[in-house]
């Protein structure tokens, strides 16, 4: 999901004290939470830093596609809501960087990695927001998928990450509802408005399913994350939950999901979806999506343009401190 | 893509505590980066109280917090468990005495 590249994890080395490892696993198995200063296997730390920082980067980059529509929102009500949503994404990024920092990663270093193109973030944010309906589709589908992924993370074995997720989930449900409301308004509007909503759904549906990451058969590192109770459900399980929750919502809107193979399984009641284009997913993750370059360029530009603010704050703080000392 | 950037200089880390309503203690809610106390307070307000989560904020530079060592957890906290006589339930008071 926001941490898709986890599937490229290096194989953990097993050099650590076997007894400590065993104790650690016992704590995990008994649903104890691991806290910042507790002993933990290096691979557990690395896995978490990678996952949490990718998640943080996704929140930060996720501001860009939606931020592009703040000035063009169709009403003051929509504008205020979108502004609040984008501000929340920024806050979520900050909660997550702070959680990563409890594992001895520095926020500045993590952000620099992102800007240098060395870090991954969710593939979904590399698609363009072409119409206002895209803002509705993102809130409804992308935030919907994010919530599906994040709710189990509230019970993640690592305390600081779980606590950050609880805050994020509390704030996130407004995001999905505002998106659905935008879609509902368009779907019940004029023929052109409905067509715009359908077009947005057509473009965002498959990338939203890709947010859950590769199919379980290809996701070789999930096992360790599951044993460590970082991950509680597999990619395919979460994807299925999302599809099952979303199909009736699309029906309510009177919109058609762009999947001719979509059908309900008579026995399980699950909605079976067609083949996902994993080649597209790989390309977007590898940096070849429609907006990868643009997103990083925007992030770098914002960082560079904010340099004077950081420098001024540092200079002011240094001067106040020296006056205090004098 | 591979343009090398100047490393972003580190900014002081602060821990944030919020009193959610009158009568309750301040509780740790998270941390943030800021150059000085005033900016830390402002950032804490923006980051942690966007939905009426608090009435009062404390910010403390993280490095000033002194924490117990998790590896000494046993030595520090175990003895409390073996001293059952510190708890009221250790003492038998006949039922006819009533609530005590």
Per-residue confidence (pLDDT) for residue A143, from 0 to 100: 96
Average pLDDT over all residues of chain B: 89
Residue A7 inside a domain? The answer is: no
pLDDT band for position A10 (cuts 50, 70, 90): very low
Per-residue confidence (pLDDT) for residue A1, from 0 to 100: 38
User: Mean pLDDT across the stretch A211-237?
Assistant: 88
Q: How far apart are CA A123 and CA A291, in angstroms?
A: 10
Average pLDDT over all residues of chain A: 93
Q: B79 versus A312: which is more confidently predicted?
A: A312
| Candidate from A4-18, A142-156, A186-200, B5-19 with smallest mean pLDDT | A4-18
CA B35-B41-B44 angle, 5° bins: 100
CB neighbour list of residue A284: distance below 8 Å, 6 or more residues apart: A123, A126, A127, A207, A210, A292
CATH number of the domain to which A82 belongs? 1.20.1260.10
pLDDT band for position A5 (cuts 50, 70, 90): very low
Residue A296 inside a domain? The answer is: yes
Mutate which: A167, A168, A171, vs B, most B CBs within 10 A: A167
The 10s digit of each residue's pLDDT in A89-126 is 999 999 999 999 999 999 999 999 999 999 999 999 99
Residue B64 inside a domain? The answer is: yes
CB contact under 8 A, B50 and A91: yes
User: Mean pLDDT across the stretch A231-254?
Assistant: 96
Tokens 């979904």 identify what position? A124
Q: A317 versus A17: which is more confidently predicted?
A: A317
Residue A200 inside a domain? The answer is: yes
Residue A16: pLDDT over 60? no
Find the CB nearest A116 among B5, B35, B67.
B5
Per-residue confidence (pLDDT) for residue A128, from 0 to 100: 97
pLDDT band for position A303 (cuts 50, 70, 90): very high
The number of distinct structural domains making up chain B is 1
Residue B4 inside a domain? The answer is: no
- What's this model's pTM, rounded to 2 decimal places? 0.90
The 10s digit of each residue's pLDDT in A269-295 is 999 999 999 999 999 999 999 999 999
The 10s digit of each residue's pLDDT in B34-78 is 999 999 999 999 999 999 899 999 999 999 999 888 888 888 888
User: Mean pLDDT across the stretch A191-218?
Assistant: 96
ipTM score assigned to the predicted complex: 0.84
Residue A20: pLDDT over 50? yes
Residue A109 inside a domain? The answer is: yes
CB contact under 8 A, B69 and A37: yes
| Candidate from A7-21, A45-59, A92-106, A174-188 with smallest mean pLDDT | A7-21
DSSP code for A127 = S
Question: A85 lies in which domain range?
Answer: 18-325
Rounded (10°) angle between helices A235-253 and A159-187: 20
Radius of gyration for chain B, computed over Cα atoms and rounded to the nearest angstrom: 23
Per-residue confidence (pLDDT) for residue B20, from 0 to 100: 94
Q: A24 versus A13: which is more confidently predicted?
A: A24
The number of distinct structural domains making up chain A is 1
Chain A CB contacts of B45 under 8 Å are: none
Per-residue confidence (pLDDT) for residue A15, from 0 to 100: 56
Residue A8 inside a domain? The answer is: no
CATH number of the domain to which B85 belongs? 3.10.20.520
pLDDT band for position A221 (cuts 50, 70, 90): low
Residue B38 inside a domain? The answer is: yes
CB contact under 8 A, A101 and B11: no
Residue A1 inside a domain? The answer is: no
The 10s digit of each residue's pLDDT in A127-164 is 999 999 999 999 999 999 999 999 999 999 999 999 99
Residue B1 inside a domain? The answer is: no
DSSP code for A268 = T
CB contact under 8 A, A115 and B5: yes
Q: How far apart are CA A100 and CA A82, in angstroms?
A: 27
Encoded tokens for B61: 């530079």
Residue B76 inside a domain? The answer is: yes
* B76: exposed, middle or buried (Cβ count in 10 Å: 0-12, 13-18, 19+): exposed
Residue B67 inside a domain? The answer is: yes
The answer to whether residues A235 and A222 touch, using CB atoms and an 8 Å cutoff, is yes
Question: B43 lies in which domain range?
Answer: 12-97
DSSP E strands in chain A: the ranges are: 263-264, 271-272
Chain B CB contacts of A291 under 8 Å are: none
Residue A266 inside a domain? The answer is: yes
CB contact under 8 A, A313 and B35: yes
Per-residue confidence (pLDDT) for residue A17, from 0 to 100: 81
């Amino acid at each position: 999901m926001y941490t898709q590249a986890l599937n490229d994890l290096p194989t953990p080395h097993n050099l650590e004290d076997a007894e400590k490892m065993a104790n650690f696993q016992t704590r995990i198995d008994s649903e104890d939470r691991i806290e910042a200063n507790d002993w933990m296997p290096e691979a557990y730390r690395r896995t978490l830093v990678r996952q949490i920082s990718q998640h943080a980067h996704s929140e930060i980059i996720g501001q860009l596609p939606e931020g592009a529509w703040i000035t063009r929102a169709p009403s003051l009500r929509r504008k205020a809501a979108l502004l609040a949503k984008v501000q929340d994404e920024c806050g979520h990024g900050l909660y997550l960087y702070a959680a990563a920092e409890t594992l001895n990663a520095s926020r500045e270093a993590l952000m620099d990695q992102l800007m240098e193109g060395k870090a991954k973030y969710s593939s979904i944010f590399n698609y363009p927001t072409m119409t206002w309906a895209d803002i509705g589709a993102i809130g409804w589908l992308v935030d919907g998928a994010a919530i599906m992924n994040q709710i189990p993370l509230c019970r993640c074995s690592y305390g600081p990450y779980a606590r950050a997720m609880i805050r994020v989930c509390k704030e996130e449900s407004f995001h999905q509802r505002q998106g659905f409301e935008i879609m509902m308004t368009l779907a019940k509007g004029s023929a052109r408005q409905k067509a715009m909503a359908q077009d947005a759904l057509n473009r965002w549906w498959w990338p939203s399913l890709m947010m859950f990451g590769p199919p379980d058969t290809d996701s070789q590192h999930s096992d360790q994350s599951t044993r460590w109770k970082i991950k509680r459900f597999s990619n395919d399980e979460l994807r299925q939950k999302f599809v099952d929750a979303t199909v009736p919502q699309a029906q309510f809107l009177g919109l058609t999901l762009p999947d001719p193979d979509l059908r309900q399984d008579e026995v399980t009641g699950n909605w079976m979806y067609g083949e996902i284009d994993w080649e597209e997913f790989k390309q977007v993750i590898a940096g070849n999506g429609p907006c990868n370059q643009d997103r990083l360029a925007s992030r770098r530009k914002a960082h560079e343009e904010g340099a004077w603010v950081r420098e001024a704050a540092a200079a002011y703080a240094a001067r106040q401190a020296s006056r205090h000392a004098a | 893509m591979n343009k090398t950037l100047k490393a972003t200089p580190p900014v002081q880390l602060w821990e944030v505590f919020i009193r959610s309503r009158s009568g309750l203690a301040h509780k740790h809610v998270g941390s943030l980066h800021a150059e000085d106390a005033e900016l830390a307070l402002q950032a804490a307000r923006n980051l942690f109280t966007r939905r009426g989560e608090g009435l009062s904020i404390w910010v403390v530079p993280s490095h000033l917090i002194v924490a117990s060592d998790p590896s000494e957890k046993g030595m520090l906290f175990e003895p409390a468990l073996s001293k059952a006589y510190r708890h009221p339930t250790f003492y038998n008071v006949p039922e006819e005495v009533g609530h005590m």
